[in-house]
Amino acid sequence: MQSSLYVTLSGQSALQKRLDTIAHNVANVNTAGFRAEEVSFSTLMSRQGTAPVAFAVTGDSFISRKTGEIQRTGDPLDVAVRGQGFFAIKTPDGVAYTRDGRLHMDATGALLTVNNYPILDAGGAGIMLDGNAGAPVIASDGMITQNGRQLGAVGLYLLDPEAKLTRVDNSAVKSDRPGTPVLDFNNNGVLQGMTEGSNVNPILEISRMINIQRTFESAARAVENTETNLNDAIKSLGSPNGA
């Protein structure tokens, strides 16, 4: 079979993965703190034959670290990240990191995420508030006070740019390298009464989806043309009686 058919099919496979990724991003455009998933592509050179043939591969997925739009809610338990940091949360599978700062207190005063995971301080411990002391005040460095009494601090962590991130829950990620607590709050900090939305650009993603669908259709036509040419060649070179 002609190598062009393999090349086209490999391209369709790569396009399908990109289309699935875009669909997942668009579905989470309104998910607070959601990080879009991107795909990087490369080529694999075939060493067979006299001329090399470049095949498309499905690509490696990675989670975008671009920031989303900050929205003011006025809720004292809503916090957003200023800068490149992440909140640390304790999940059943270990420590994960998120930009979703929609918090609440349970009956014991524990500070939890919207999915009831404890949010951690800079030392990796949970945070306890006083449910009877009124709304907390959260400073830009994460320090929490109630009625003038310091009760702890929301931890902020930086993730290594080379760390591999995998998705956890709705908008959290796990890192193959531990996060580093933020100590300098000049470029990073916490914003009380605000939340960060998804970093998905819906207009851009829809445009990409349309372009990929068109390219996929072109690839499908190329496959049909290749098969037609191959059949025509067999008919021209072959004989009906097999002679």
Over residues 101-118, the pLDDT tens digits come to 999 999 999 999 999 999
Cα(65)–Cα(171) distance, integer angstroms: 12
Length of the chain (residues): 243
- List helix spans (H) across the chain: 3-27, 202-237
**What dihedral angle (degrees, nearest 10) is formed by the CA atoms of 225, 229, 232, 234?**
-130
120 against 7, higher pLDDT: 120
Least confident of 6-20, 54-68, 201-215: 6-20
Give the percent of the chain with pLDDT over 70: 76
Residue 80 has pLDDT above 50, yes or no: yes
Q: Give CA separation, 57 vs 15, 45, 53, 164, in Å.
A: 9, 10, 13, 20
What's the pLDDT band for 59 if we cut at 50, 70, 90? low
pLDDT tens profile 7-48: 666 666 677 778 888 988 999 999 999 999 887 654 443 444
With H, G, I as helix, E, B as strand and everything else as coil, classify residue 2: coil
User: Which residues are CB-contacts of 191 (< 8 A; sequence separation ≥ 6)?
Assistant: 70, 79, 80, 81, 82, 140
